[in-house]
Structure 1
Amino acid sequence: MQGILGPISGYLSDLGPSVVLPVLITIFGLILGLRLGKSFRAGVTIGIGFIGINLVIGLLGGQVAPAATAMAQGLGVNLDIVDVGWPSSAAIAFGSSIGAMIIPLGLVVNVVLLVTGLTRTFDIDLWNYWHSALIGALVGAMTGSYLLGLLSAAVHLALILALGDLTAPIVQKYFQLPEISFPHGTSAPYGLLAIPMNWMFDRIPGLNRVDATPEAIQRRFGLFGESLMMGLVLGLLIGVFGYGFDDPAEDAKAILTLAISLAAAMFLLPRMVAILMEGLMPISEAARGFVQKRFPGRTFYIGLDSAVAVGQPSVIATSLLLVPVTLLIAVALAPAGNRVLPLVDLATIPFIVAVMVPIFRGNIVRSVIGGGLLIGAGLFIATWIAPTFTKVAVASGFALEDGQATISSLVDGANPLTGVFYAAARLGTPGVLVVAAVCLAAVLAVRQVMARRDRAAAAAAEEGAG
């Protein structure tokens, strides 16, 4: 079976979401009753939106990574574990033995949970199943058991769907995305941890009165509070910290280029997301009608990549601020045991904070503090798993570059759930089974939370009607 499905998963990985999603969206639209032309146009438009988002994220990475490298060199830090980034992590995950099975496994898990009512999310973002494949591959490598790796991947998929359900109402309200959830392996776990952090921030004197939403910043700072101007200023600051002025002419050129690039990212990302949403709306409306007709009284969400949220001003502003913060944290934690140099995945910090930001109500100060704390803790996880991560990478056919003895990543190497599953795998079969049981209990708990929300909403509607 692996021999058949492995090449298929590898091919889908090579195609990427920009190609895979339009095909899936077209098929999904036809199932929902849309005409072929309308479904196909929606799928292609969504693909174009993803290409636009990835181009802007690529622009960020191409400009931020050199500044980050220069900053690390200027600080004289020697962090020997290289952050190879999510593209390499995804390729490693799909290239593993678990990756060969992850798409059919994910579909089975999703359908079973939908039929039994344990999730409301139908996750059409099949390409991002790689997050669960990576978890399974790490567990399999640590325990030596393919079945335990497969079980871990399945349980991780179920938990991510539950977290998508849990945060869906907040995500839908903040980003104005009806019937959408983010069962995204990068974003969802951080969103869960942001809930108690926000409760804590509400009770810290001074911090609980800071209004740092983009709207409040623009009111206070006028022109310099606009999103593109924030990008420009942040680019200048990152550039100055990174490059300095050892060579005034060349460094000034690099700093100004970085500043304009980040201003462009702040300006362009919302427009790329708007293109993606243009394609998504007909699908969302058709899905709503399909569910109301065939499953009266039930609510379903369409599970998507959190890329649809990265263009929101609070998300991108938080992410840009976290670039130098993450580097400084990595350096500060080196004496305590961190060995990971954040590099390639600095451009994907928007995905880490995408669900945190709405939970923090768009407050950039809270989002930076919360993001910094969690990323800082995650650097120890990324350091901890690096030997096994490298082992899985080599087994998957990943070629280490010269000088790369050990590799890891910020996405998903530093992810809290990666740490949980890896810790379980180190305890062997009992540890994996205990974590699996806890995760399934969490899925049931989320179902109860959603039921209570439904009852509260129904009571409020009835009271309003009365």
Structure 2
Amino acid sequence: MDFAAASAWINGFLSSVGAAVFVPIIMIIMGLVVRMKPKDAISSGILLGVAFTGMSMLISYMGNIISPVGEAMLKHIGINLPILDGGWTTMAAIAWSWPYAILMFPLMIVINIIMLIANKTDTFNADLWNVWGKIFTAVGVVGLTGNVVLAFVIAAIQIVFELKTADLFADEINELTGIPGVTCTHKMVFLAAIYYPIDKLLRKIPALNHKADAEALHEKVGIFAENHVLGFILGCLFGLLGQYDLGKLLTLGVQCAMCLTLFPVISKYFMEALSPISEAVSDYMHGKFEGRKLVVGLDWPFLGGSNEIWLTVIWGIPVTVVFAFLLPQNQILPFAGIVNIALAVPAYLVTKGNLPRMIILATIGVPIFLLVGTAFAPFISHLATSTGAVAAKALGSAGLISNSSIDGPWFTYAFSQFLDIANGNPLPLGMLIVWLAGYGLMYHDLSKEQKARKAAASAEAVEE
């Protein structure tokens, strides 16, 4: 079996099962390796699959009820945007159509193992399903340079950054979610490097520098911060924006209320499924790596119990529509990617769940997604047609397709296209320098916080 055939088979398998099957299989295998009882490993794996499926169903449902609102708003505004938004599935199809895609699996695993042994990371990345994110970056490099070796070098750098970023946010994720021994290795977190310096400035504003998560909001406004009430209010507001009649408006209100009510419920199953596995991995790895506390890297959905994430995502929908209309450089019609999780998750981690600052960061982030989606459109569309990807069948009126919610858009564009300076385009290289500067500042500050936290924990342990 050649690389192209192997990649096509893997693409077909992953498309047929998705994260809801693939990730639990990995977790069951991991559980057995770290000597969990088979019945416990299988039970936790299946429950994790249930949690993934439940979260995916809710997100899909929310997309189905919210996307028409965005379409209606665009129709009433009367703008013409020729690039079709194919969502993340377009990116995955393009990535897996690359003949060398299959090689990204061993590269990711080997780098992770080397870094664990060398004590350069405390994260074991079990999120193999999202390996396509690395493949897509590599495909971007090949599309620009034609150099396959360089593409894998850039992908390897991305893998290292994912592990180091997962380490950086591990303690905070534990505090925010209450789930021990897990962190997030998804590429969407890379936008934190852009958000962090901005958030550092926002914290200097007294009104924005106090506890302001959904729980604190509930204490101040009472019933109006209840998930179901807030969801109903937001749904009705969206109905007004879409110029819905009264019946459709109220129906949308109840549907949004249902979504915000059930997201935290589903998240509890992630906790129930992941806790036994993460504890078993931690105990096993403690024996192998004495004195170290290792964590398991996962996809973002286990963070889905955060009301702040969903409120920010919902806020981002009308903001995306407005920017799609106002930005003269934007040519992409937001559709499949309009429910943009990648907008909110890095804001959630950077602000530690401060909702007002999350909304400000998301508003700043929307143009980044639209402009990167527009910039990638010719490249993505060419690959879609040249490789015969399914996405080619859905090309927009201008024969162009892209995604308005590319994960880690700044990083993806900068790292895959910075060599375009040879063709007279300095923008990606400039973006690369800015991202590295933001990441360096974030890494310095959060590493300092981690050391202080560990020192405090050690002092407390000595006192006891």
Is the structural similarity TM-score above 0.5? Answer: yes
Q: In the alignment, what sits opposite 1:363?
A: 354
Q: In the alignment, what sits opposite 1:248?
A: none
Query: Aligned to 2:124, what secondary structure does the other structure show?
Result: strand
1:383 and 1:165 map into 2 onto residues whose CA distance is 32
Single out whichever of 148-157 and 126-135 deviates more from structure 2.
148-157
Query: Aligned to 2:7, what secondary structure does the other structure show?
Result: helix
Q: Tell me whether 1:21 sits opposite 2:20 in the alignment.
A: no
Deviation at 1:435, TM superposition (A): 10
Q: In the alignment, what sits opposite 1:158?
A: 160
User: What amino acid sits opposite 1:332 in the alignment?
Assistant: L
Deviation at 1:60, TM superposition (A): 0.7
Q: Tell me whether 1:316 sits opposite 2:318 in the alignment.
A: no
Return closer, same or farther for 1:19/1:284 CA change in 2, 3 Å cut-off: same
**Correspondence for 1:463 among 456, 459, 462:** 459
Q: In the alignment, what sits opposite 1:195?
A: 196
Q: In the alignment, what sits opposite 2:246?
A: 252
Contact 2:197 2:438 in 1 (8 A): no
2:310 and 2:366 map into 1 onto residues whose CA distance is 16
Deviation at 1:262, TM superposition (A): 1.3
Q: In the alignment, what sits opposite 2:67?
A: 65
1:151 and 1:292 map into 2 onto residues whose CA distance is 31
Query: Aligned to 2:296, what secondary structure does the other structure show?
Result: strand
1:192 and 1:137 map into 2 onto residues whose CA distance is 23
1:39 and 1:222 map into 2 onto residues whose CA distance is 41
Deviation at 1:438, TM superposition (A): 11
Contact 1:13 1:90 in 2 (8 A): no
Query: Aligned to 1:137, what secondary structure does the other structure show?
Result: helix
Alignment deviations for residues 285-339 of structure 1 (CA, whole Å, 9 cap, x no partner): 1012112222111121100111111231111111111111121122121x2x111
Query: Aligned to 2:205, what secondary structure does the other structure show?
Result: coil
Q: In the alignment, what sits opposite 2:415?
A: 421
Return closer, same or farther for 1:155/1:142 CA change in 2, 3 Å cut-off: same
Q: Tell me whether 1:406 sits opposite 2:397 in the alignment.
A: no
Query: Aligned to 1:101, what secondary structure does the other structure show?
Result: helix
Contact 2:186 2:300 in 1 (8 A): yes
Deviation at 1:44, TM superposition (A): 0.7
Return closer, same or farther for 1:55/1:175 CA change in 2, 3 Å cut-off: same
Deviation at 1:226, TM superposition (A): 0.6
2:157 and 2:458 map into 1 onto residues whose CA distance is 38
Contact 2:84 2:395 in 1 (8 A): no
Return closer, same or farther for 1:120/1:203 CA change in 2, 3 Å cut-off: same
Long gaps (5+) in structure 1: 246-250
Single out whichever of 18-27 and 447-456 deviates more from structure 2.
447-456
Q: In the alignment, what sits opposite 2:301?
A: 307
Query: Aligned to 2:337, what secondary structure does the other structure show?
Result: helix
User: What amino acid sits opposite 1:298 in the alignment?
Assistant: R
Contact 2:94 2:380 in 1 (8 A): no
Alignment deviations for residues 373-398 of structure 1 (CA, whole Å, 9 cap, x no partner): 01212321211121112122223422
Return closer, same or farther for 1:415/1:440 CA change in 2, 3 Å cut-off: closer
How many residue pairs align between the two structures? 455
1:177 and 1:258 map into 2 onto residues whose CA distance is 32
Return closer, same or farther for 1:215/1:456 CA change in 2, 3 Å cut-off: closer
Single out whichever of 254-263 and 131-140 deviates more from structure 2.
254-263
Superposed structure 1 runs of 4+ greater than 6 Å apart: 431-451
Query: Aligned to 1:299, what secondary structure does the other structure show?
Result: coil
Return closer, same or farther for 1:162/1:440 CA change in 2, 3 Å cut-off: farther
Contact 2:370 2:405 in 1 (8 A): no
User: What amino acid sits opposite 1:31 in the alignment?
Assistant: V
Single out whichever of 79-88 and 215-224 deviates more from structure 2.
215-224
Q: In the alignment, what sits opposite 2:334?
A: 342
Return closer, same or farther for 1:175/1:4 CA change in 2, 3 Å cut-off: same
TM-score in terms of structure 2 length: 0.90
CA-atom RMSD in angstroms:
2.9
